[in-house]
Structure 1
């Protein structure tokens, strides 16, 4: 098949990383893989791994993006792809407006992925106009059914798959561990409680600090590590977190390490990974990432994050928003040895097979 994926940019983030990984896998299987985006730091990797990249300004949340409809129709007419897969709302509008004016007998199959629980507006409804819709978790699947006019038979739930070559129990080498301890000597001899994720109010870093204050009363040998940077123009939130750390007396008990590209190694060195978002996440990628690396996880029992935990490590589930219960659970996990299992449906191979099956089913129906 000739497959075109369209997304705003290729800089960073779960959607972008997932697109690049999926493109690599389908190219390796012999499909003609093309990605259309406004560009970004991941383009070189994408091209090196066998995918063609076409740069196009499909990222602006502005009416000016409608000027890209005709160029997109021209591009699709020239490329003659079998499938166009849209992964974000602005690209979805551009592609759909271009696609609907193409001859039905020759236009490509149109697929979208709901990567989030988007606002229920006409703007977001574009994601449901594709011929086939993929949801990244059961909670997103239900959200689509509850809020958008999409026939149930057109929706397929396919979890975002992890690359086992990156996320596995061997992800942390002794050399990496030694380098980390040299950089952060306060971690030496401590049991590491990890909090990964960009610094954002709803991601739960404040709750994590409050939980650590309670946990240290039970487990004085622990040390918290927060991995992640503040979003652009929200750097002040880091200052607020540092002030809260000081107020709770945790200056020598919690370390902020900023943005890291080696998160898999942190899972390998951690005793427990925490997921404490204050609202349901569509997927919660850090949970299966940690489990794949053999790290126990504690997370609130809601949203997409709870789905992988229910499947692979139910001992880590905690009543939502109960910080005292969370500290108690982390303490229990530290004192007990558990088997950790992550089903194959959370790995990249299953995602690729499931997505290609959606493509093939759509093309068969069109034929």
Structure 2
């Protein structure tokens, strides 16, 4: 198995069919099933496992994506304490996972978050089954203890990095893991994120929810993502305020996302909007369950993250729908957005730069924005699809399982 700097752009990988997982049970472990990128990828991989003839178990506290998981044939094994970072809970969860592995005849365990990954790691060592990890983010490690805590994500027999940015980060941070890293970018589900598959009923439902049934005759700028400081909602409001102060109020900014209990942050955003008298131009609409339709009624998509995105799913999904995006110039978004070709990249936290990029996009003739959008769609279709992610992930499973069969003895990286 070649592990050095593989990507979904490899023709041999992007075109291969799913391996046969008949008789195999794969257990993915993730804290919860909220609507984030890691959680959605978990469901997508569960779907592929079932389609490949395997059984897909997900150990999790559950959440918003449970219905989707059930629809694709995945099975939830609920454990409310899996998100806990309490060492005692982590140790107890390891024992619980060990029981699940034995009871359900689990063939391989795949961990997607640090606290439950420690539980999964210890359970895999006790039961002698393969341990795979996906490194979903550039975790902060400001102390030796935190560096060790994060290291569990680099202890897999194979360590999946969800972008070239993350692959490089792992190799630098944990050099001993470098030859076990496989780059498998997150993908976009082209069945959902293609303009022709979105119905007018879907669009109308968004318009009804956001605008009481009448779409404004102004460009709609969408910033989707949970309401948290590092996703850049404050910076976006400040950039739009700057546009308004310069006389440009011909736009609507939509902040679509769940605050997940961060009510103080939401209140702060509302206060910023009210202070600038922009409540008619900037709307906080809460969680959106139909992002494809939300993007399809929009003209420009923003992702002004203040920290490096491991991948940059928002830009990829918007690109698939032929929308230009404006993103922060760091992390995985450097891979999903080609500057000046499929969108614009600006320095993170630079209000002036973000404001200028938005103004530039708004001033582009519609035909020019459409050309940029079509180039974005081609870029995503060629490099970042769910089908590629699924095939490559299951390819990792098949190779690791075959390796175990060949050696009849499994050793974990320490």
Give yes or no for TM over 0.5. yes
Counterpart position of 1:307: 335
Decide whether the 8 Å contact of 1:181 with 1:188 is kept in 2: no
Residues 71 and 255 (structure 1 numbering): CA distance in 2 closer, same or farther, change over 3 Å? Answer: closer
Counterparts of residues 108-187 of structure 1 (less than 5 Å): 108-120=129-141, 121=146, 122-170=148-196, 172-183=198-209, 184=211, 187=215
Cα-Cα RMSD = 2.3
Q: State how 1:48-127 maps to structure 2 within 5 Å.
A: 48-56=71-79, 57-62=81-86, 63-102=88-127, 107-120=128-141, 121=146, 122-127=148-153
The equivalent residue for 1:17 is 40
The reply to whether residue 45 of structure 1 matches residue 30 of structure 2 is no
- Greater mean alpha carbon deviation, residues 71-80 or residues 86-95: 71-80
Change (3 A) 1:123 1:288: same
- Residue of structure 2 aligned with 1:345, choices 375, 378, 383: 383
* Cα pair distance change 1:255/1:131, threshold 3 Å: same
Instruction: Say which structure, 1 or 2, has more relative contact order (CA 8 Å, 6+ apart).
Output: 2
| Cα distance in 2, alignment partners of residues 37 and 347 from structure 1 | 25
2-structure distance, mates of 1:288, 1:76: 35
**Displacement of 1:356 after TM fit?**
1.7
Task: Name which of structure 1's ranges 107-116 and 144-153 shifts more when overlaid on structure 2.
Answer: 144-153
Give unmatched runs, 5+ long, in structure 1: none
Counterparts of 1:208 and 1:180 in 2: how far apart (Å)?
A: 22
Q: Give the Å deviation of 1:295.
A: 1.4
The one of 336, 359, 363 equivalent to 2:397 is 359
Instruction: Please say if residues 138 and 308 of structure 2, whose CA atoms lie closer than 8 Å, have aligned partners that are also in contact.
Output: no
**What is the CA distance between 1:171 and its match in structure 2?**
5.6
Distance 1:267 1:48 in 2: 24
Preserved contact between residue 206 and residue 294 of structure 2 (Cα < 8 Å): no
Q: In 2 relative to 1, CA 36–61 (structure 1 residues): closer, same or farther, beyond 3 Å?
A: same
Relative distance call for 1:187 and 1:205 in structure 2 (3 A) is farther
Structure 2: distance between partners of 1:88 and 1:198 = 18
Contact kept in structure 1, 2:187 and 2:389, CA below 8 Å: yes
Other structure's SS at 1:170 match: helix
Q: Say which SS state the counterpart of residue 77 (structure 2) adopts.
A: strand
CA distance in 2 between partners of 1:48 and 1:177 (Å): 23
Indicate whether 1:228 and 2:257 are aligned: yes
SS at match of 1:141: helix
1:172 to partner: Cα distance: 4.7
Tell me how far 1:264 sits from its aligned partner. Answer: 1.5
Give the equivalent residue in structure 1 for 2:31: 8
